[in-house]
Amino acid sequence: MATESRGWSRYDKLAGLASLALLSGYYVTPIQEAVGVAMQALLGPATTVLPFSVLILLLAGTTGLSSALLNLKLRNQDRMDELRDRMNDLRDRMESARERDDDDAVEELQTEQQELMVDWMTAMKSQFRPAVWSMLVTVPAFLYLRWLFLAPTAAIAPAAFAVPMLGHVAWTATLVGPVQVWLAWYVGCSISTGLVARKVVSRVV
């Protein structure tokens, strides 16, 4: 994967287009079905040996770990910190020049400020690169689970799972509004595994 310190590479743009195509699967049924069938072919063996709740946990863990690694690799936090320090320094110098009524200095600083804002916007745009690449993992995983519960022919998602003290709860049972049990389980697993993955990656890498 090519990376660039300024702007997006050709591969970043292709990843962005692919992510948009995958996102359309939320509304375009054939795309969701294609992703579901492909993911089922990949994960089919695992569904026969793992409890379905564990399968969801592993999918969530995979998306959390990939997001953590991509953030570490593609997000240039040092660059953002450097630009933030330059902006703070420029603001202080601008205030000092205005207090002295030094119009020439103010004009020069305004020119520097415009150049710095261009650099800032470029750096901000590059900060979205990890999200674009992450969607290539997170969106198919979510579409796959969504497809399982919307496609009866898939027939691998159990009707319910056991919850301590509550007994068997239907995966498609509604919790709040449109939020169903499977969605709450997936989101909860994603958040928890994502937090753990970021801490582990920050210490190991």
- Residue-wise pLDDT tens digits, 110-126: 888 888 888 777 777 77
The average pLDDT across 122-147 equals: 85
3 state SS of 4:
coil
Instruction: Tell me the C-alpha to C-alpha distance, in Å, between residue 130 and each of 1, 10, 66, 67, 195.
Output: 12, 15, 10, 7, 16
Q: What does the mean pLDDT of the chain come to?
A: 80
Residue 156 has pLDDT above 80, yes or no: no
> CB–CB of 131/138 below 8 Å?
no
3 state SS of 127:
coil
- Dihedral, CA of residue 35, residue 36, residue 38 and residue 41, to nearest 10: 170
pLDDT confidence tier of residue 22, bands split at 50, 70 and 90: very high
The average pLDDT across 152-161 equals: 56
Q: pTM of the prediction?
A: 0.70
β pairing state of 174-176 and 167-170: unpaired
